[in-house]
Amino acid sequence: MSIQQAVNSAPDKSERRFVIRIKAGVYQEIVRIPPSKTNLMFVGDGMGKTVITGSMRVPSLPGVPTTYGSATVAVNADGFVARDITFENAAGPGSQQAVALRVDSDLSAFYSCAFLGHQDTLYTHTLRQFYRNCRIEGTVDFIFGNSAAIFDNCLILVRPRQINSNKGSSNPVTAQGRTDPAEPTGFVFHNCTINGTEEYTRQFYANPKIYKAYLGRPWKMYSRAIIINSYLGELISPEGWMPWIGDFALDTLYYGEYQNFGPGAKVSGRMPWSNQIPEINVGMYSARSFIQGDEWLPDTIN
């Protein structure tokens, strides 16, 4: 039975958790979880052991030439949980947008999962999401979307845009897409590590002047991203953040940092339109406050 067949066999509109156990192996398939499959859970045998992989990408998709449609796994049902699984889009560094996982699932959570891709790896499209002890790799805008998402103790690694390139590159990690100041959305990173893969680090140290990594750039007008108590590697540019194009959204975005550490965490060179969060405001970015985690993640956040 394929993973998709198992999803199709799950009960519709379930109010109880329904678990699909996915044994170790590489599963080359495209998986779609429709809105009716609520409270579904994928459990694998471990990050790197249970791998769901595809290679759809923009603009080569037949009939669906969109970033949204390129996902290897797409979740549209509320209450989805995954544990100990790798989600991969193997389209390669020369490709354009190629999503490993897209999530339109309120109250969704991911534990000890890996998300591997290049441009646009993890599409946290909408609603409340929680990621803990996960590994996320990509090149450009590889954590993006307009969800309210908490990333706790995650390893976030920049990959090379081109193998053995002497041209250099600019690699923004996030592209958050909040379109209205009233939206309760944004990305919050707690106790994470933001660094480079071995391949990227090797290229960076060979020529640090032409390899630049950034914490994020504003995809939409009210983009919001927060980095708290996290390690920032040397590859993070002193500016910290980069514009999208020109001065777009620079007066309306909110990019904030609080008590980060590591060689990339020095704040003296940060862009003037980014912020150092006052201590009194840090609590509003906890899982309890930002995604109401005490209501649906009590065992996780307590």
Q: What is the pLDDT of residues 211-242, one digit of tens each?
A: 999 999 999 999 999 999 999 999 999 999 99
- pLDDT, residue 108, reads 99
Q: What is the mean pLDDT of residues 135-143?
A: 98
Q: How far apart are CA 203 and CA 302, in angstroms?
A: 41
- pLDDT, residue 61, reads 56
**Topology (CATH level 3) of domain 145-291:** Pectate Lyase C-like (2.160.20)
- pLDDT, residue 84, reads 99
- pLDDT, residue 117, reads 97
Q: How far apart are CA 119 and CA 257, in angstroms?
A: 24
- Residues 232, 213 contacting (CB under 8 angstroms): no
List, edge to edge, every strand of the sheet that includes 50-54.
Answer: 25-28, 50-54, 86-89, 114-116, 135-138, 155-158, 193-196, 231-232
Do the domains 145-291 and 1-138 match in fold? Answer: yes
Pick the more confident residue, 25 or 57: 25
CA 163 remoteness from chain centre: 22
* 247 labelled catalytic: no
Q: How far apart are CA 291 and CA 109, in angstroms?
A: 11
pLDDT above 70 (res 163)? no
- The residue type of 226 is I
Q: What is the mean pLDDT of residues 263-288?
A: 97
Least confident of 58-72, 124-138, 146-160: 58-72
Pick the more confident residue, 164 or 249: 249
pLDDT above 80 (res 94)? no
Q: What is the mean pLDDT of residues 185-200?
A: 98
CATH number of 1-138: 2.160.20.10
Q: How far apart are CA 235 and CA 213, in angstroms?
A: 6
With cut-offs at 50, 70 and 90, classify the pLDDT of residue 104: very high
- pLDDT, residue 300, reads 74
Q: What is the mean pLDDT of residues 91-119?
A: 94
pLDDT above 80 (res 258)? yes
- pLDDT, residue 223, reads 99
Q: What is the mean pLDDT of residues 121-139?
A: 98
Per-residue pLDDT reduced to its tens digit, 33-68: 999 999 999 999 999 999 999 998 887 656 656 899
Strand-pairing partners, residue 174, are 143, 216
List, edge to edge, every strand of the sheet that includes 224-228.
Answer: 18-21, 40-43, 81-83, 108-111, 128-132, 148-152, 186-190, 224-228, 254-258, 275-276
Q: What is the mean pLDDT of residues 170-198?
A: 98
With cut-offs at 50, 70 and 90, classify the pLDDT of residue 165: low
* Stated pTM of the model: 0.96
Q: How far apart are CA 211 and CA 171, in angstroms?
A: 8
45, 141, 251, 294: the active-site residue: 141
Place of tokens 């390129």: 70
User: What's the mean per-residue pLDDT of the chain?
Assistant: 95
Q: Where are the extended beta strands (E) located within 7-127?
A: 18-21, 25-28, 31-33, 40-43, 50-54, 73-75, 81-83, 86-89, 101-104, 108-111, 114-116, 122-126
Per-residue pLDDT reduced to its tens digit, 11-20: 999 999 999 9
Domain ranges within the chain, ordered by starting residue: 1-138, 145-291
Largest Cα span, the chain: 56
Q: What is the mean pLDDT of residues 9-35?
A: 98
Q: What is the mean pLDDT of residues 278-285?
A: 98
